[in-house]
Amino acid sequence: MAKGMREIKRSIRSKQNMKQITKAMEMVAASKLRRAQEAAVSARPYTDKLKEVVSGIASGSGGSKHPMLQSRPIKRTAYLVITSDRGLAGGYNSNILRKVLQTIKENHKSPEEYAVFAIGRKGRDFFTRRGIPLVDEVTGVADSPKFHDIKEIAAKAVGGFEAGSYDELYLAYNEFRNAIVQVPTLKRLLPLGDMESGVGKGDYEYEPSAEEVLNVLLPKYAETLVFSAVLEGKASEFGARMTAMGNATKNATKMIAELTLHYNRARQAAITQEISEIVAGANAQQ
């Protein structure tokens, strides 16, 4: 009985230590979530304004002839997948990776029909384990990402479409709704759609020409959408980690309570047995 009590007590201490860790991780994730959420939200007006400017130029300059705006027969598709470098974030990584893998299996018959870019160690390792080659990868993105952290891979992904290496490019990331809800999203980035939605060109003069300005702005706009998705992903990551660690803390508390109850019952049984033995021994001496 004493051995069983020691094991229960050891298990209680183990769960208490784990609870302290998960509680600390929950608080850290909550702190980082606020900054990440602010960054994701503040990036949206910039992206919307850039889209408005590009749409205005495209609608008034025959911009639909630009290769980034033209649809073409789909022979090869690229996916830019955004995940985290660390785990312990619930289904944050697994949900989006499962969605991408399912899409690849359903839409492509051979590896020649698709290409994959990975931002985040979890995504890189996931595709590497399954023998899916990566065109490019980026890991170690900071908790507060800067554009230069992903500029190279974004430019390479956008440039590959312009060069005709593939005929469409999809962004795969978790869209941030709130701290509890993160939606796995697979969105077509290229070719750009709805860029001639009727937004007026305005009374502007462009140097050297509207077409030249569009040639510069369109790739930058696509790269900005990638960066915006990275910011959304970071906010989603911290929200998912905060929720997962909060649930882990609650589960640890519940397990500690149950183990404490078992320990008290075992201790009570041991005391009762000792009293019974003492009483039996006293009766035997009479």
pLDDT tens, 222-232?
A: 999 999 999 99
Contact at 8 Å (CB) between 254 and 15? no
Burial of 9 (0-12, 13-18, 19+ CB in 10 A): middle
Distance of alpha carbon 127 from alpha carbon 131, whole angstroms: 6
User: How many other C-beta atoms can be found within 10 angstroms of the C-beta atom of residue 144?
Assistant: 13
Ranges of H-type helices in 62-137: 92-107, 121-129
Identify the CATH homologous superfamily for domain 36-241. Answer: ATP synthase, F1 complex, gamma subunit (3.40.1380.10)
- Find the radius of gyration of the CA atoms of the chain: 28
Kindly report which listed range (18-22, 107-111, 268-272) carries the lowest average pLDDT score: 268-272
Distance of alpha carbon 159 from alpha carbon 2, whole angstroms: 69
The rounded percent of the chain whose pLDDT value lies above 90 is 62
Contact at 8 Å (CB) between 122 and 83? yes
How many CA within 13 A on the CB side of residue 156? Answer: 16
- β-bridge pairing 182-190 and 168-176: antiparallel
64-81 per-position pLDDT tens digit: 577 788 888 999 999 999
Cα angle 201, 203, 205; round to 5 = 95
Omega into 191 within 30° of 0, i.e. cis? yes
The pLDDT, as a whole number, for residue 61 is 57
DSSP letter for 110, please: S
The pLDDT, as a whole number, for residue 273 is 78
Ranges of H-type helices in the chain: 2-61, 92-107, 121-129, 147-162, 210-285
DSSP reduced 3-state for 267: helix
Contact at 8 Å (CB) between 99 and 172? yes
Contact at 8 Å (CB) between 38 and 190? no
Domain extents for the chain?
Answer: 2-24+244-281, 36-241
Type of residue numbered 217: L
Residue-averaged pLDDT of the chain = 88
Type of residue numbered 223: E
85-144 per-position pLDDT tens digit: 999 999 999 999 999 999 999 999 999 999 999 999 999 999 999 999 999 999 999 999
**Which pTM does this prediction carry?**
0.85
Question: How would you list the strands of the sheet with 136-138, edge to edge?
Answer: 136-138, 114-119, 77-82, 168-176, 182-190
Partners of residue 174 on adjacent β-strands: 184
The pLDDT, as a whole number, for residue 1 is 54
Kindly report which listed range (134-138, 187-191, 281-285) carries the lowest average pLDDT score: 281-285
Place of tokens 């050891």: 10
Question: Which class does domain 2-24+244-281 fall in?
Answer: mainly alpha
Distance of alpha carbon 250 from alpha carbon 257, whole angstroms: 11
Structure tokens at 210: 């509207």
